[in-house]
Chains A and B, each alone.
Chain A
Amino acid sequence: MMNIRRNLVILSLLFIPLLSLVAVEDMPRFSPATVKLVGMINPRDLEIIVTNEADVELTSDDAVMEFIFPSQEQWEVSQSLNFYYSSHLAIEKKGTLSFQVDDLNLDKNNSLRISLELYNNNNANTRVEPSGSSFFVTFKEGAQNRTPIGTLTVKIRKNASDIYSAGIYRGFFSMNYTEMN
């Protein structure tokens, strides 16, 4: 019994130096060198994107809506614009996208009334304000690429009793964004 124990001790003593020969071990005398790296993901501010019915993106240079009025006694024409946003916000934002449109005028005696209809297209982050002329939007945090806001439809109607002179009618349509704090 004693012999076995002694052999075991000798074997263990032999084994320890052998282990140190093959093992890779830390050198505690020398402290590790460290360096910190910094990476930044910058917020991307809100960008409102407007597209026409053909899904062509409109810019301030080509945001022209052209209506061709039918040569009938009574008609209604409409065009829709789709609104989206892109952003990468650190925290969500809320804001109002409001629209204002003037009548289409040929001259002081000939003006066509325009009506606006706003739809949120079942988008939970957009609410059509009671005035019917603005979207109240929650712009979510994180990356948002072409996230739908809603659709605006511009309608022009002529009743049978309305009489308008032929010609090119012009009007202005404006959009304003107000951010909530």
Chain B
Amino acid sequence: MNKKIIAFALVLLIVMGGVFALPNYTPATALLQSTIGDSFSHGFLIGDSTAYQTGVTVSDNAFSVDPELKYGFTAKHSSAFKAQLSVTAFTKTGSGIVNIDTVTVGNENPAQWTDSSTKFDLLVYEGTDVNKTVKKDVKIVITPKAIDDNTPVGTYTATVTVSLVTVS
């Protein structure tokens, strides 16, 4: 065979070989990421209700029988926290005030109330609870001070607030 023809055929082969060769690309990857969010609900369990309630009024006469409440939460959270209660004195439109004497949480001893900024620890979502669904509740008894003879007649209201605070 002619040497020229052989050389041409070789060059062609090399070029064609380049056409059919597999490219050496880096594989494409995609990172799929999702977050399971915190869930939280809380409130007061009034009477036989199993639903958390807030902003409601307990109409029983607190001066006849000490009000007994149940507070609870269901939580799945990424950090620890605790629920703290504060309660205002009973006040009446115009004048008239009946202070709170004590607040009893669960089976603990009654704790003295000083003013509406006094905080009472109710429940803790512990560090060991983090990212787990936890349901807790606790009984609270609020005892007003004894009614003084000079306390004006009328209807008094007090507000109980449970706030959540982070704990280290």
Contacts and interface: CB of A to CB of B under 8 A. Distances in A.
A21 B153 contact: no
Interface residues of B, number: 49
Contacts of B90: 37, 39
Given A42-B153, A90-B154, A143-B150, A35 B62 contact: no
Interface residues of A, number: 28
Interface in A27-54: 27, 30-43
B91 to A, nearest CB: 10
A114 interface: no
Given A24-B166, A25-B166, A27-B166, A38 B152 contact: no
Given A24-B166, A35-B46, A143-B150, A40 B67 contact: no
B67 A37 contact: yes
A23 B42 CA distance: 23
B136 to A, nearest CB: 13
Nearest to A90: B153
B54 interface: yes
B42 A37 contact: no
A88 B142 contact: no
A43 B151 CA distance: 11
Interface stretch (B2-10, B27-35, B107-115, B157-165): B157-165
B86 to A, nearest CB: 9
Given A21-B168, A30-B164, A35 B156 contact: no
A142 interface: yes
A38 B6 CA distance: 109
Contact of A37 (B43, B58, B162, B163): B58
A166 interface: no
B63 A41 contact: yes
Contacts of B168: 21-24
Given A27-B164, A38-B57, A39-B158, A33 B71 contact: yes
Contacts of A145: 149
B55 interface: yes
A41 B144 CA distance: 13
A34 B159 contact: yes
Contacts of A73: none
A26 interface: yes
B105 interface: no
B152 to A, nearest CB: 6
7 contacts: A22-B168, A23-B168, A33-B42, A34-B159, A35-B53, A36-B58, A141-B153
10 interchain residue pairs of minimum CB distance: A143-B149, A39-B62, A33-B54, A90-B153, A39-B63, A36-B57, A39-B156, A32-B163, A27-B164, A33-B43
